[in-house]
A and B are shown apart, each in its own frame.
Chain A
Amino acid sequence: MTKLKTSITQHDHVQGNKDAPLTLVEYGDFECPHCGRAHPIVKALQERFGDQLRFVYRHFPLAQIHPHAESAAEASEFAGAHKKFWEMHDLLFENQDQLGLPLYQELAGTLRLPVQRLREALETGEFTAKVRSDFSSGVRSGVNGTPTFFINGIRYDGPVNVISMAEALAYVLEQAA
């Protein structure tokens, strides 16, 4: 049984009820097609479990095989610094075949973020350390590729689809009750 080693803190991006009995953590990569496919699955799970589920996203860019994964992660952190992390997160996954500075700038414009500042942040690596720290916490926790999910701190090794994941979540919820 592989366990999440780094607990959820104020530095994490958390969506949903903070006191929810279920926590789903995803280590993801914006350029990974499997993560792209998992994106609507997570949305469906959030809808199904409502207030019983909080969702946490952490970065695990596989930069050697995905040349835009790191910059996309940093762009989402930039948006996060302006309280628009989740909006950017969704838009990046929805446009993952076009990742690159032109897309980040366009999305920043859509979200009314300072486009010039975004460019500077990427050039100076303002958010590199934050992304690295997510990556390291993932390595320590047994993240083995992307996406890797943890349900209440235990790595989920089952198939990534709504039915299997909903079953696993329901099971954990029942155990917790």
Chain B
Amino acid sequence: MPILGRGIEAPDFNLHVTPDQTLSLSELRGRPVVLAFYPADWSPVCGDQMALYNEILPEFQNHQAEILGISVDGVWCHAAFARQNKLHFPLLSDFEPKGEVARKYGAYREKEGVTERALFVIDEEGKIVWSYCSPIAVNPGADGILEALEELSAKKGKRDDQVKDVDNAA
């Protein structure tokens, strides 16, 4: 199954972000969400995918967007990985049942038992507006995510202007 694409309602989930906390997608309604599936913690390169997103967090925050990393690693593994790389955003653990959320997004690799490198940008209402599945060995970078967020912000800006116009007319 290919990954879910534009226009589809993003499947909700409730996953552990720390050993004693969970997070649901629906809790983040009202702001854009970047959902970044990646195969595993501890990939052997500098500035791997998560470290890169960590560096450019301010750019995501400019769009009021929330970024979530997600893999099948367990919470303790995520905790150690996040500490080591000083990550300042949540990592979700799609651990039990393993890969269940990834499957719903079409982003699970049965053979290897890991998630794809698949990116989803979800709008304020929970709809997927952009998605991309990168070859597993290639870190997709952040340019596509930022373009999608810019488009969302531009639309929102237009909507806000229209509301203002209506207010002014009234």
Contact = CB atoms under 8 A, between A and B. Distances in A.
B143 A32 contact: no
Interface residues of B, number: 22
B90 interface: no
A33 B46 contact: yes
B47 A140 contact: no
A65 B141 contact: no
Interface string B137-150: 01111111010000
Describe A's contact surface by its main secondary structure: loop
A145 B142 contact: no
Given A29-B47, A32-B47, A144 B55 contact: no
Q: Is the interface of B mostly helix, strand, loop or mixed?
A: loop
Interface string A137-163: 001111111100000000001000000
A105 to B, nearest CB: 26
B49 interface: yes
Interface residues of A, number: 23
Given A139-B56, A139-B143, A157-B138, A144 B49 contact: yes
Given A62-B55, A64-B54, A64-B55, A145 B143 contact: no
Nearest to A33: B46
Nearest to B147: A140
A145 B45 contact: yes
